[in-house]
Amino acid sequence: GAVVSQHPSWVICKSGTSVKIECRSLDFQATTMFWYRQFPKQSLMLMATSNEGSKATYEQGVEKDKFLINHASLTLSTLTVTSAHPEDSSFYICSARDSRSDNYGYTFGSGTRLTVV
Amino acid sequence: QKEVEQNSGPLSVPEGAIASLNCTYSDRVSQSFFWYRQYSGKSPELIMSIYSNGDKEDGRFTAQLNKASQYVSLLIRDSQPSDSATYLCAVRYGGTSYGKLTFGQGTILTVHP
């Protein structure tokens, strides 16, 4: 089945700094990846759709200048949280769809727990 | 108005019983439906996908889809304590750009010994 690798699994950063999160599809090519954010006891909220070779599509209310997304290859998408603040502390999860088979559905990375202090 | 609705629970069932999880979705062109399980602190993992009306079985899990009534359900037979988790229903709507999923708020399931 499809495997999505996400790093780091957790990160603590100081307020005002930037953090980069990587998402890789290991055994398939993903022209599209999705970035979610999940706060405690809440469901997943889609932040943006990352498209290889083009600009990301952001959901309403998500600041594209704060959450920079780069999808430079068919297997790698990155999310950079710029000038992070404590309210950005959350669980960030990427996802990709393996188009080889509908049975694979959308596979999620293991997630990154970001804590901004 | 939310597009995917789930009862947040918690739903508590005894070990060995059948757990029934339900999900309704709004009246739009719907395409694909997914059930994910999420353990606390972990990312979601795919349990089942279903695309056509009717039942789809995989081991102890059965997904049921009724597009006319706009609901999709998940049955877990012989529930085990290890099934205790949050179950997320997700819908991929037809015509949605890049095939993004819309998630329900999740149902917390507790299976007690």
Q: What is the pLDDT of residues B20-61, one digit of tens each?
A: 999 999 866 777 899 999 999 999 999 999 989 999 999 999
Q: Do B104 and A46 touch (CB under 8 A)?
A: no
- A93 pLDDT higher than 60: yes
CB contact under 8 A, A109 and B106: no
Per-residue pLDDT for A84 more than 80? yes
Contact B103 A110 (CB under 8 A): no
Mean pLDDT of chain B: 90
Query: What's the pLDDT band for A104 if we cut at 50, 70, 90?
Result: low
Contacts with A, B 19-58, CB within 8 Å: 32, 34, 36, 41-46, 49, 51
Give percent above pLDDT 90 in chain A: 71
DSSP B7: -
Whether the per-residue pLDDT at B95 is higher than 90: the answer is no
| DSSP secondary structure of B82-109 | GG-EEEEEEEEETT-GGG-EEE---EEE
The predicted pLDDT at position B94 comes to: 63
pLDDT grade, residue B98 (50/70/90)?
low
**Secondary structure string (H, E, C) spanning A24-62:** EECCCCCCEEEEEEECCCCCCEEEEEEECCCCCEECCCC
Residue A18: per-residue pLDDT: 97
Judged by CB atoms closer than 8 Å, whether chains meet at B88 and A43 is answered as: yes
* Closest approach of A94 to chain B, Cα-based (Å): 9
Task: Indicate the residue of B51, B100, B104 with minimum beta-carbon distance to A34.
Answer: B100
Do the Cβ atoms of A108 and B49 come within 8 Å? no
**For residue A59, what is the nearest residue in chain B, using CA coordinates?**
B100
CA dihedral for B113, A39, A34, B30, sign (positive or negative): positive
* Mean pLDDT, residues B67-94: 93
A44 contacts in chain B (CB < 8 Å): 44, 88, 103
Residue A114: pLDDT over 60: yes
pLDDT of residue B97: 47
For residues A2-18, average pLDDT = 95
Average pLDDT of the residues in B50-77: 95
d(C-alpha A19, C-alpha A86), whole Å: 13
Of A32, A107, A109, the CB nearest to B99: A32
The predicted structure's pLDDT at residue B112: 95
More confident residue, A84 or A54: A84
CA dist B24 and B7 (Å) reads 10
pLDDT digits (tens, 9 = 90+) for A37-63: 999 888 899 999 998 888 899 999 999
pLDDT of residue B100: 82
